[in-house]
Amino acid sequence: MVELFHSTSEKCSRIVTEGYSTSFFSAIGMLHTSLRKPVYNIYGFVRFADEIVDSFHDFDKKLLLQQFKVETYDAIERKISLNPILNSFQQTVNEYGIDAKLIDSFFESMEMDLEKTKYDSKGYQEYIYGSAEVVGLMCLYVFCEGKRELYDKLKSSAQSLGAAFQKVNFLRDVKADFNGLSRMYFPGCDFNNFTEQEKRQIEDDIQEDFIKAYAGVKQLPLKARFGVYVAYKYYLSLFRKIKKVKPARIMETRVRIPNYKKAMIIFRAGIKNQLRLI
C-alpha cells in the first residue's frame, strides 16, 4: 500500500499550496494535469522551509531548519520519508532528476534569513538566486520532462521569472519585512526614508526581469505554457499596481490584487491561449 502513502503525501503538498497561496494554486491548476502534482510537491517543500525562517519565532529556527535540511537529503537518498511534504518532494526530485545543487542553493538562502538583515549587491543576487531562481529551475525540470536541450535553452528565462516574482514580493511586503523582521533585501535602500528614485531603480530592474522571462514563457511546452503565463500575468498586474503607489505608502500597506481582477486575468489569458497568442 506504499502507493497510498505516496498519493496521500502528494495531497498534503497540494493542501499546503492552496492554504498558503491561492494565486499560485490557481495558476498551477492551469497546467496540464500531469504537471500539477510535481509542482505542488516543489511548492510545499519551499513553503515549509520558508515558514521556518519567517514564522517560527518562538522556536529554535536554526535547529529546525538544519533538521529539515538533513531530512530532505535523507528522503532524496532513501526515496521515502515519513514527513509527507518531504516524501512528495523527493518523489519529484528523483523522478525528474532535479540537480541537488539547486537544493543546496535554496537552503543557503534560507540560512541567510536566519541571521542576515541587510544585503549588499552580491549578497542580494545570491539570495535571489537561492530563494527564487532555483525554484523556477526546479519547476523547469518538470516542464521540460527530461529534455535537457530545452531546459538549457529556457534556463535563463526561468531564472528571470523567479527573480521577478521574488522582487515583486519584496516590494509588496516591505512593511512586514522591515518592521516585522528587520530585513532590508534591496541593497543601498533606506526604508526609513524610501525615495521615489530608489523605488524607480528597483522597478526598472524588475521590469527587465519580466521582459527576459516572457521570452521564455512563450517557448515553454504547451502543457506548461498557459499555467506559467497566468502566474506571469498575475505578478505583472501586481507589479503595475505597486508602481502606482508612492514610496511612503508602500511602507504603510500591502498591495493586493482583488479576486475579480484575478478572475479577469485568467479569462483574458484563456482567450489569448485559445487564439495561440501566447
Mean pLDDT split into 10-residue runs, the chain, 278 residues:
94 96 91 97 97 95 98 98 98 98 98 92 96 98 97 98 97 81 84 87 97 97 96 96 90 85 87 78
| Sign of the dihedral through C-alpha 35, 40, 41, 43 | positive
CA-based end-to-end distance of the chain:
42
Residue with cell 521564455: 216
Is 61 in a helix, a strand, or coil? Answer: helix
With contact defined as beta carbons under 8 Å apart, do 134 and 93 qualify? Answer: no
- For residue 42, the domain's CATH number is 1.10.600.10
> What is the pLDDT at residue 42?
98
Residue 216's domain spans which residues? Answer: 2-274
Report how far residue 17's alpha carbon sits from residue 38's, in angstroms, rounded to the nearest whole number: 12
For the chain, what is the domain count? 1
Report how far residue 218's alpha carbon sits from residue 71's, in angstroms, rounded to the nearest whole number: 37
Return the DSSP state at 98. Answer: -
> What is the pLDDT at residue 90?
98
pTM, full prediction: 0.94
Which residues have a Cβ under 8 Å from the Cβ of 249 and sit 6 or more positions away?
Answer: none
Which residues have a Cβ under 8 Å from the Cβ of 216 and sit 6 or more positions away?
Answer: 154, 156, 157, 158, 160, 161
